[in-house]
Amino acid sequence: MARKILLDVDTGVDDALAIVLAAKSTDAQLLAITTVNGNVSLEKATVNTLKVLTLLNKEDDIPVIQGADAPLQRPCFFEHSVHGNDGLGGALPHCKPTAQPADGYAPDYIIEQAKRYAGELTLVMTGPLTNLALALEKCPDLPKLVAGVVYMGGAAFTHGNVTPVAEYNMYVDPEAAREVIHAGFAPLVQVGLDVTRKALLTRENIGSLVDSPVKQFIKTCTADYIKRYEARNNVAACALHDPLAVAYALKPELLDLEEMFVEVETNSQFCDGQTVCDRQQRLGKPANVNVATEIDSDAFLSYFLHSIQN
Q: What amino acid positions are annotated as catalytic residues?
A: 241
Q: CA 226, 42, 96: angle at the middle one, nearest 5?
A: 75
| Whole-number CA gyration radius for the chain | 18
In order of 52, 92, 94, 155, 203, the CA distances from 217 in angstroms are: 9, 7, 12, 29, 13
Distance CA 62, CA 22 (A): 11
Annotate 163-189 with b (16+ C-beta within 10 A) or e (fewer): bebbbbbbbbbbbbbbbbbebebeebb
Distance CA 283, CA 278 (A): 7
In order of 10, 45, 148, 169, 247, the CA distances from 35 in angstroms are: 6, 6, 19, 14, 19
Distance CA 80, CA 85 (A): 5
